[in-house]
Amino acid sequence: MTSSPSPPGFSLVDKPWIPVLDTAGQRRELSLSDLFAQAGDVRMLACELPSQTFAILRLALAILHRATDGPPGEAAWQSLWQDRQLPLSDIADYLDAFRSRFDLLHPEHPFYQVATLRAEKDNTYGLERLIADVPNGMPFLTSRAGSGLESITPAEAARWLVHCQAYDTSGIKTGAVGDRRAKKGKGYPIGASLLGWLGGIYVEGDTLRETLLLNLVPIAPGWQRAAQRDLPVWERHPQTAAEEAEVTRGPWGLLSLYTWQSRRIRLFGDADGITGAMIANGDRLEWQDRHLLEPMSVWGRSGPREREQKRTPIYLPRPHDHTRALWRGLQTLLPPPPPRGGDAAERLSPMVIQWLARLTVTGVISHHMQVRPRAVSVAYGSKQSVIDEVFSDALTMNVLLLVEHSALRATVIDASADAEAAVQVLRRLATNLVRAAGGRDTDSGEADRAAERAYAVLDRAFRDWLATLGPDSDPVAERAWWQRQVWRAVDRLGRELVAAAGPAAWVGRPGVDRAGRAVHYSSSQAEAWFRTGLARALPMAAERTQQRQEETV
């Protein structure tokens, strides 16, 4: 009697599942093997969500770190950078050695899952908890409904599986048999998955090959360090339903960090379609003071924890402000160096940025090279139980801007602050015009709309200007030029506000200013204050304007 054939699996090494955009502008899907082999011809990863792209990039980096044995230092990294291709033979040998662990449907150790995961009762599991673009409790606010939630391909399931381990929401999960934390069939909240706490940053190059290498921070003294037991999850014994003991789970380095199992998951279905997923609590990780381990996040000091623990400094990852474009928060991405002999830095730039700055200073990377730091983070709502928004933004800039003591870096940070100051002056103008027309002081609608219009105009101008800066740029001249652009844009918007204020604002009304002094609010007075405020916010542009006025007299 012959045994029945084993059910077909789905090998992430061989089957296409990772969406990419190639250098010809075509979107297609690649297997892990093809992703590395064709990295020089691929423009970027192009997943459904930016957070999904970030999670899969970190998976690819874990494989590349392992295949390059680190790399063990700057010389080894430079050799990789100078080669025309990634070390394809080493990568292929590595993937082949662990091929079975990359099988999404393996009966004993399916990729990123627990094969024996089950609940006390035979529950029916759908896909809505796995797929992050289906709003919890609001299925009508998504294009994915009906048959789109009944079954998905193994390729799509693999992408959402990686995303779930990285960004799953908190809230009550299915209680897994074997997890001592589960009570009455429920797994109680342990917080969002690993990357949900980060203000994620990675550096994009012109191709995926460049992107992978630019984010491949060496595992070497002075940069990343790792214990010998630091291994990716597929090189370890398969996970069980239980949370791994703290003394053994790590993370011990980048490999365990990049493949961290925040959840215990089991997919249901076969090679023809995945129809459901059980998601239970996995391993927790405390992010405090992990800034020397996690290289792809911005960090900031935590005042509450410093006061509570009575020591300084204490650093925590900082999610991005989703209400502000990345250029408006450059001081977070590229914080100024701490004063010598003073307190510890309030903010720390990501280690991937620090590493690229070092390569620029040592001449390994050309001073003329441009890169794109890309920010990614997720905003959760209602105790992290739902995903409210996924944020992504990128800026094209010269590598010199990443160098801590670069005059060009100081210039662009100051230029961002110049724009913010000018917009605040415009906001005050809008508020004063409302007061002049008899409106309420607490009504910020007009000021908010004025600021939105200003940021919309300045956004493209700043991005375009930033991309032109390079080693031949004069920092002082460039900042003066930028202030003039801001002056023209904000001055035009201010004139439009005054013209639209109407006769009531022209007549005005008495009031009290912020210092408690009696003043007469009118459109002409508001415009005069606006001119004075703009000159203070943009002094280099004001000097130029004054010179032109004197020349025409």
Render pLDDT for 237-274 as a digit per residue (tens, 0 to 9): 999 999 999 888 889 999 999 999 999 999 999 999 99
pLDDT at 545: 59
Token representation of residue 388: 């409210």
pLDDT of 4 > 70? The answer is no
Q: How confident is the model at residue 139 (pLDDT cuts 50, 70, 90)?
A: very low
The edge-to-edge listing of strands for the beta sheet with 27-30 is 27-30, 18-22, 42-45
pLDDT at 225: 84
| Cα–Cα distance measured from residue 377 to residue 258, given in angstroms and rounded to the nearest whole number | 16
Say how many residues make up the chain. Answer: 553
pLDDT of 144 > 70? The answer is no
Those residues with Cβ within 8 angstroms of residue 266's Cβ, 6 or more apart along the chain or in another chain: 110, 113, 114, 115, 117, 118, 277, 278
pLDDT at 134: 52
| Cα–Cα distance measured from residue 159 to residue 317, given in angstroms and rounded to the nearest whole number | 25
Higher pLDDT, 197 or 545: 197
Mean pLDDT rounded to a whole number for the chain: 92
Mean pLDDT score, 364-377: 97
| Cα–Cα distance measured from residue 345 to residue 347, given in angstroms and rounded to the nearest whole number | 5
| Cα–Cα distance measured from residue 34 to residue 19, given in angstroms and rounded to the nearest whole number | 12
pLDDT of 141 > 50? The answer is no
pLDDT one-digit tens code per residue, 419-474: 999 999 999 999 999 999 888 766 688 999 999 999 999 999 999 999 999 999 99
Q: How confident is the model at residue 547 (pLDDT cuts 50, 70, 90)?
A: low
pLDDT of 361 > 70? The answer is yes
Mean pLDDT score, 395-403: 97
Token representation of residue 264: 């215990």
pLDDT one-digit tens code per residue, 480-503: 999 999 999 999 999 999 999 989
Count CB neighbours of 500 within 10 A. 11
| Cα–Cα distance measured from residue 217 to residue 308, given in angstroms and rounded to the nearest whole number | 33
Per the listing, tokens 């393996």 go with: 106
| Cα–Cα distance measured from residue 130 to residue 163, given in angstroms and rounded to the nearest whole number | 9
| Cα–Cα distance measured from residue 240 to residue 115, given in angstroms and rounded to the nearest whole number | 8
Per the listing, tokens 């602050």 go with: 417
The edge-to-edge listing of strands for the beta sheet with 315-317 is 315-317, 299-301, 347-348
pLDDT of 278 > 90? The answer is yes
pLDDT of 160 > 60? The answer is yes
Q: How confident is the model at residue 516 (pLDDT cuts 50, 70, 90)?
A: confident
pLDDT of 136 > 60? The answer is no
Per the listing, tokens 């990634």 go with: 86
Q: How confident is the model at residue 550 (pLDDT cuts 50, 70, 90)?
A: very low
pLDDT of 549 > 90? The answer is no
- Give the gyration radius of the chain's Cα atoms: 27
pLDDT one-digit tens code per residue, 181-235: 999 999 999 999 999 999 999 999 999 999 999 999 999 888 888 888 999 999 9
Q: Phi and psi at residue 523, in whole multiples of 5°? A: -65, -35
pLDDT of 36 > 90? The answer is yes
Estimate to the nearest angstrom the gap between the alpha carbon of 501 and the chain centroid. 41
Give residue 377's region: left, alpha or beta (phi > 0; psi -120 to 50).
beta
Say if CB 209 and CB 40 are below 8 A apart: yes
Count CB neighbours of 533 within 10 A. 18
Q: Is the pTM of this model over 0.95?
A: no
DSSP 280: E
Those residues with Cβ within 8 angstroms of residue 2's Cβ, 6 or more apart along the chain or in another chain: none
pLDDT at 140: 40
| Cα–Cα distance measured from residue 240 to residue 551, given in angstroms and rounded to the nearest whole number | 79
- 119 pairs with which residues across the strands? 176
Mean pLDDT score, 68-77: 95
For the chain, which domains are there? 299-402 (no CATH), 407-552 (1.10.132.100)
DSSP 238: P
Q: How confident is the model at residue 544 (pLDDT cuts 50, 70, 90)?
A: low
Mean pLDDT score, 89-100: 98
Higher pLDDT, 147 or 543: 543
Question: Which letter, b or e, does each residue of 349-365 get, where b requires 16 or more Cβ atoms within 10 Å of its Cβ?
Answer: bbbbbbbbbbbbbeeeb
Helix (H), strand (E), coil (C) string for 201-223: EEEECCCHHHHHHHCCCCECCCC
Mean pLDDT score, 370-393: 95
Amino acid sitting at position 129? R
